[in-house]
Structures are given as structure tokens and as C-alpha cells.
Amino acid sequence: GLTVEILQGGTEIVPQTVLAEGKADFAVAWVPKALASREQGARITEVGQIFQRSGSWQVSFADAGIEKPADLRGRRVGTWGFGNEYELFAGITGAGLDPGADVTLVQQDFDVKALLSGAIDAGAAMSYNEYAQILEAVNPKTGKLYTSRDLSVIDWNEVGTAMLQDAIWASTSRLESDAAYRLTTTRFLEASMRGWAYCRDNAEECRDLVVAAGSQLGASHQLWQMNEVNKLIWPSPEGIGVVDEAAWARTVEIARGTRNAHGQTVLSGDPVGLAYTNEFTQAALANLRAADVDVTGESFEPVEVPLNAGGA
């Protein structure tokens, strides 16, 4: 087996930079952010695309009347920045709006406090985290928890501006020169994919592992997260981890062509060199199929997860 140490993360820590500096063997990073680092000189390669779909939403209260990107005109719109905003900007631009003039952009913390307080009209949320935090909050008008009927969601997958997110990245130079590292890459992918397949089929057990490890949010929130993350991974028709060329091309197109409020794009050109490879994922998938592991999840069905106040 592999002995794996998971390094500390955080908003000030850039995983792909830690990898490029040789301080980690692998990293998990969103594709556009990692491609930006590559363009700046980081020698990293995507070796496994875990999330097949984007989990980014823009959420508002239903009575605000925000149902599509065009409805954001004249609104106070929360954004996290740090490269998380380009699906939003692509959606705004595609609706004929100027993100620098037609909306009021508000720097949002990685929570939903600004939306709940009314400081913003629409907030950034991941389907598996911040959206649930809203549903775990009490609606002061009713004294009960908010429900999905109280909310309106802009899903960037449906809009057509979704970009590839959580992927596994490796050192390009080590892939090119280190046979032992190449073998470890396949083994690491195989172990990761086996874990995701197990958590697809045993969501409550995986929830319990996270809670036991000391998660800040409680059991109902963690089961919601597991269920929603499974939706982003499964089904994976070509096998978990395979980079879909069409989704990759769309991500690069948006990264090259969408400008933020300051007129900046994520990328100035197409990625050069070994930006991604399916070689190691395919080797890992072959091993998993030989072990009779379901690597496509075609029969996966999400469950309904009731949330408790505060995610308890």
C-alpha cells in the first residue's frame, strides 16, 4: 500500500504552487487555476479529472427574481475571487452584461453570511457546501429552516459556462524522468479512485469517518457534502478520472476569452506542453476493473439528505 500524508490547506495556500515547488508529490486543484500557474511557469500536469461536473452556483432568495444571469443586472453580486469567479463572469458576459459596470461586485467570504444578512442579492455557493449552509439557517420570517423553495439557483452547468474543477495534478518533470514516480502516480490514482467508488456506495460510513476526524460542521452537513460530491463525480461514463476533451476545451476557451471586472483573463493562450494526460488514469482504471470495482457508477442514485440546524 501507499503511505500518504495530507498537507494542510487553506485560502492562503495554493496547492499547485506547493506541488511545483517540490513540497508535495501531488495536488488537487481546479483546472483553470492550475492552468494559470502553468502559464506562469509551473511544470505540472493533470493526471486525473475527479469532478466531471462543476459544483459552482450563484444563489439568491426566490423573491429577488434572479433566475438567470441577465437578472443580475443592477444587483449586488457576491464573488469569492481567487480565480473562482470566471464561471460567473462568463455567464454575465454571455447575457450581454459588463461585469465591471452592470453589476455591483462584492467580495464575499467563503460562507453565506452576506446573503443571509441581505448585504448581497446573489451569493457564490458550492452545491455541496455553502448552499447547504443556507438550508441549515433559520428563516426569521417563519422560525423554521430555509427550504429549497425559498431559494433560486443559477447552475453554471445549465448556463453552459461551467469549468472543470477538482483534478489531481503531478510534477511534469518527474513524470518525464522518474520511473518510480510514474508508478506511484498510477498507484495513487488507483487508491483515490477506489476510495471515491467506496464512498459512492457507502456514503454514511464515509460521512462518519470525516466527522470522527474532527470536522467543524456536523453529521447532516457532511452527509449532504458526500451526496452532492458524488453527483459531481458519478456517473463517469468513460471511467472516473478520465479528462473529457470537450469539457477541457470549454474550460480553456472560457479561461482564454472571459474577462473579469479588471479586464483580465485566466489564460493568454492555449496551454502548451503536457497540460494533461489520461495515461496514468487509464492504467489505474485497468487495475480497478480487474479487481471488479465499478469505475463508471452508471447506476448511482443520489439520496435525499435532511439537514439539521447548523449542520449538526
| DSSP bridge pairs for 46 | 169, 276
Shared domain check, 60 and 48: no
- Among residues 111, 134, 162, the one where a domain terminates is 162
- Helix (H) or strand (E) run with residue 17 in it: helix 15-20
Q: Is residue 5 part of a domain?
A: no
Closest by Cα among 16, 62, 58, 59 to 40: 16
Q: 200 with 235, same domain?
A: yes
Element (DSSP H or E) covering residue 197: helix 179-201
Q: Using only C-alpha atoms, what is the Rg of the chain?
A: 20
Residue 279 CA to residue 277 CA, distance in Å, equals 5
Answer yes or no: do 170 and 279 share one domain: yes
DSSP codes joined into one string, 201-255: H-HHHHHHHHHHTT-SS-HHHHHHHHHHHHHHH---TT-TBPPPHHHHHHHHHHH
* Residues 130 and 256 grouped into a single domain: no
184: amino acid identity, one letter: T
What grid cell was written down for 5?
Answer: 500524508
99 is a domain residue: yes
Do residue 157 and residue 243 come from a single domain?
A: no
For residue 67 the three cell numbers come to 433566475
152 and 259 inside one domain = no
How far is Cα of residue 92 from the mean position of the Cα atoms in its chain?
20
Angle between helices 279-290 and 179-201 (to 10 degrees): 50
C-alpha cell at 103: 453589476
Walk across the sheet containing 104-107 and list its strands: 104-107, 76-79, 122-126, 56-61, 151-155
Tell me whether residue 7 is in a domain. Answer: no
Nearest Cα to 278, choosing from 99, 81, 45? 45
Q: What is the pTM of this model?
A: 0.96
Same domain as 148, residue 177? no
Residue 60 DSSP SS3: strand
For residue 282, the tally of other CB atoms under 10 A from its CB is 15
Same domain, yes or no: 131 and 213 = no
CATH value at residue 224: 3.40.190.10
Do 144 and 211 sit in the same domain of this protein? no
Res 27: pLDDT: 99
Does some domain include residue 311?
no
Considering the domain boundaries, does residue 299 fall inside one? no
**Structural domain harbouring 123:** 56-162
Q: Count how many domains the chain has.
A: 2
- Strands 76-79 and 104-107 turn out to be parallel
- In a structure prediction context, what are the per-residue pLDDT tens digits for the chain, which is 312 residues long? 899 999 998 888 999 999 999 999 999 999 999 999 999 999 999 999 999 999 999 999 999 999 999 999 999 999 998 888 999 999 999 999 999 899 999 999 999 999 999 999 999 999 999 999 999 999 999 999 999 999 999 999 999 999 999 999 999 999 999 999 999 999 999 999 999 999 999 999 999 999 999 999 999 999 999 999 999 999 999 999 999 999 999 999 999 999 888 888 999 999 999 999 999 999 999 999 999 999 999 999 999 999 999 999
